[in-house]
C-alpha cells in the first residue's frame, strides 16, 4: 500500500491510454479534449490503483514546492514562552492545507549567521516564507525581499516595503493605557514584552507614551522597564520596580507571560492586585482569565494572524499578487479584575 509505488504509467497501462492522457484527465488541463469515455476509464483506473502523484516529481517540473516556511526569529529557549505560537501555526497550516500547501516550521535564532533563510530558497525547500518576530534591522530579510523572494512578516522591520500581517501594537497599547488612565491612574509604569529591537516592543512603548501624552501625563523614563518574554523576567522586574524612587499605582505589562511572573512576585511580597497596584497585560494567553486575579489584557487574534499571513502568501505564490498593503488585525480590550473590581460588570459580559 505504501511500498509499491504507483505511477501515472501504471494508470495509463490499466486504462489503455498514454501517460499524457492520464495527466490531462487528472489535472483537468485546459484546452485538452478528452472524450467522456476515455476520461471515465482513466478516473476509474486511478481510483482502482489508488494513484497519488509524486510530490517531488511534480515539484520539479512545476518549479514549485507547494511548501511554505514558518520561521520564528527568537532565542530558541524563549520561543516556547510565546503561548500563542501554536495558535498562529494552526492558522497557517489550516490555510495552507486549504490550498494544497504544506508548512515547514523552522526556528532560526536572531544571531544566526548562516543565511538559513536564503538557503531555504536556494535549495528550493520552500516557495515562500512567513517570518515571525523579525529583528528591526534584519538585513537578510531585506536582501531576500529585494531578490523577489515571497516573504510575509509578522512584525515590522526598518525596511518598509515588505508586506506584513500584524496587529496595530501602538493602538492596542494606547487602548490598554487609556483604560488605566480612565480608572484614575497617573503613575503608570511600562514593562516591555521584549527588547526594543523587536517592533512589537517598540510600538507598544510608543503607544504607552502617546496615551500618556494625550492625557497630559508627563513621560518618565524611570518608569520604563524591560522584560524578555519569560515569567522570570517579570518576576525580576517587579523587584526593580519596587525599588525605584517613584512608586507606580499601575503597571502596563506588554505580555501576559511576563505579567504572570509579576503577579507571582507581588503575591510573595503581599502586595494586592488590584487594591495596591493595578496590572494590565497584553496578549490574552489562554490562561490569563484564570489567573488570580483574572488579568485584564489585550486580546490578539492569533489564529487569524496565521491564517491571513498564509492566505496572503499563497495568493502571492499562486496569482503573483504581491500584497499592496499591510494587513492589520483588530485587537480587543478585555477587562477582567486586575485593574480594579469596580469594573466587575464589564468583566462578566466579557466572561
Partner DNA sequence: TAATATTGCTAACACGTTTTAGTAAAACGA
Partner DNA sequence: TCGTTTTACTAAAACGTGTTAGCAATATTA
Catalog residues that contact its own copies under the rule CB under 8 A. Answer: 1-3, 50, 52-57, 59-60, 65, 67, 70, 76, 79-87, 89-90, 93-94, 97, 102-107, 118-119, 121-125, 143-144, 147-149, 230-231, 234-235, 257, 260-261, 263-264, 267, 286-287, 289-292, 294
Contacts of 52 (CB under 8 A, 6+ apart): 6
The residue among 143 and 304 lying less far from its own copies, judged by its C-beta, is: 143
Restricting to residues 61-100, which ones interact with DNA according to CB under 7 A? 61-63
Q: Which of DNA, its own copies, none has residue 168 at its interface (CB below 5 to 8 Å by kind)? A: none
Give the whole-angstrom CA distance, residue 83 versus residue 90. Answer: 13
Kindly write out the interface string for residues 113-142 of this chain, putting x where it contacts DNA by CB under 7 A and - elsewhere: ------------------------------
Cell of residue 91, nine digits? 492558522
Q: Which is nearer to DNA, 63 or 216 (CB)?
A: 63
263, 278 in Cβ contact below 8 A? no
Shortest CB 122 distance to DNA, Å: 9
Nearest-angstrom CA–CA distance, 80 and 271: 29
Stretch that binds DNA, among 34-42, 74-82, 94-102, 157-165 (CB under 7 A): 34-42
When CB distances are held under 5 to 8 angstroms depending on the partner's kind, the choice from its own copies, DNA, none that residue 76 binds is its own copies
Q: In Å, how far are 70, 148, 322 from 66, measured between CA atoms?
A: 13, 17, 17
The reply to whether omega before 133 is within 30° of 0 (cis) is: no
Closest C-alpha to 254, from 202, 183, 314, 315? 202
Report the residue from 37, 111, 113, 161 that binds DNA according to the rule CB under 7 A. 37
- Count of residues of this chain found to bind DNA when the rule CB under 7 A is applied: 32
Chain positions 12 to 31 lying near DNA, rule: CB under 7 A, are 16-21, 23-24, 26-27, 29
Phi–psi pair at 65, nearest 5 degrees: -95, -20
Residue 80 C-beta: closest distance to its own copies, Å: 5
Q: Which residues contact 213 (CB under 8 A, 6 or more apart)?
A: 219
Quick one: what does residue 9 bind among its own copies, DNA, none, with the CB cut-off 5 to 8 Å set by partner type?
A: DNA
Q: Residue 219's binding partner, choosing from DNA, its own copies, none, with beta-carbon cut-off 5 to 8 A by kind?
A: none
With both helix axes pointing from N to C terminus, report the angle between 19-27 and 36-49 in degrees, rounded to the nearest 10. Answer: 90
Closest approach, Cβ 125 to DNA, in A, equals 13
Contact criterion met (CB below 8 Å) for 68 and 126: yes
Q: Tell me the angle at which helices 8-15 and 36-49 cross, rounded to the nearest 10 degrees.
A: 130
Q: What are phi and psi of 337, to 5 degrees?
A: -120, -10
Contact positions vs DNA (CB under 7 A): 5, 7-9, 16-21, 23-24, 26-27, 29, 32-35, 37-39, 51-54, 57-58, 60-63
Amino acid at each position: 500500500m505504501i511500498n509499491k509505488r504507483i505511477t501515472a504509467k501504471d494508470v495509463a497501462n490499466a486504462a489503455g491510454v498514454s501517460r499524457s492522457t492520464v495527466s490531462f484527465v487528472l489535472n483537468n488541463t485546459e484546452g485538452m479534449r478528452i472524450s467522456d469515455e476515455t476520461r471515465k476509464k482513466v478516473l476509474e483506473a486511478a481510483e482502482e490503483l489508488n494513484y497519488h502523484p509524486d510530490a517531488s516529481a511534480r515539484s520539479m517540473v512545476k518549479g514549485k514546492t507547494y511548501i511554505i516556511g514558518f520561521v520564528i526569529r527568537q532565542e530558541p529557549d524563549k520561543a516556547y514562552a510565546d503561548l500563542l505560537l501554536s495558535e498562529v501555526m494552526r492558522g497557517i497550516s489550516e490555510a495552507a492545507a486549504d490550498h494544497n500547501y504544506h508548512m515547514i516550521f523552522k526556528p532560526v535564532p536572531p544571531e544566526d549567521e548562516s543565511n538559513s533563510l536564503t538557503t531555504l530558497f536556494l535549495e528550493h525547500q520552500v516557495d515562500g516564507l512567513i517570518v515571525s518576530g523579525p529583528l528591526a534591522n534584519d538585513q537578510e530579510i531585506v536582501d531576500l525581499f529585494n531578490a523577489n523572494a515571497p516573504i510575509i512578516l509578522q512584525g515590522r522591520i526598518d525596511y518598509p516595503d515588505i508586506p506584513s500581517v500584524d496587529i496595530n501594537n501602538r493602538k492596542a497599547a494606547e487602548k490598554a493605557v487609556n483604560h488605566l488612565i480612565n480608572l484614575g491612574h497617573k503613575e503608570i509604569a511600562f514593562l516591555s514584552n521584549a527588547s526594543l529591537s523587536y517592533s512589537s516592543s517598540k510600538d507598544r512603548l510608543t503607544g504607552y507614551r502617546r496615551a500618556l501624552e494625550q492625557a497630559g501625563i508627563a513621560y518618565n523614563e524611570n518608569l520604563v522597564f524591560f522584560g524578555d518574554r519569560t515569567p522570570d523576567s517579570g518576576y525580576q522586574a517587579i523587584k526593580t520596580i519596587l525599588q525605584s524612587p517613584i512608586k507606580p499605582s499601575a503597571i502596563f505589562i506588554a505580555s501576559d507571560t511576563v505579567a504572570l511572573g509579576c503577579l507571582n512576585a507581588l503575591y510573595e511580597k503581599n502586595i494586592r492586585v488590584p487594591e495596591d497596584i493595578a496590572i494590565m497585560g497584553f496578549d490574552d494567553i489562554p490562561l490569563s482569565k484564570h489567573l488570580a486575579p483574572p488579568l485584564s489584557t489585550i486580546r490578539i487574534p492569533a489564529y487569524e494572524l496565521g491564517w491571513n499571513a498564509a492566505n496572503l502568501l499563497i495568493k502571492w505564490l499562486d496569482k503573483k499578487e504581491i500584497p499592496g498593503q499591510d494587513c492589520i488585525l483588530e485587537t480587543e480590550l478585555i477587562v477582567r479584575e486586575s485593574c480594579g473590581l469596580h469594573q466587575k460588570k464589564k468583566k462578566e459580559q466579557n466572561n
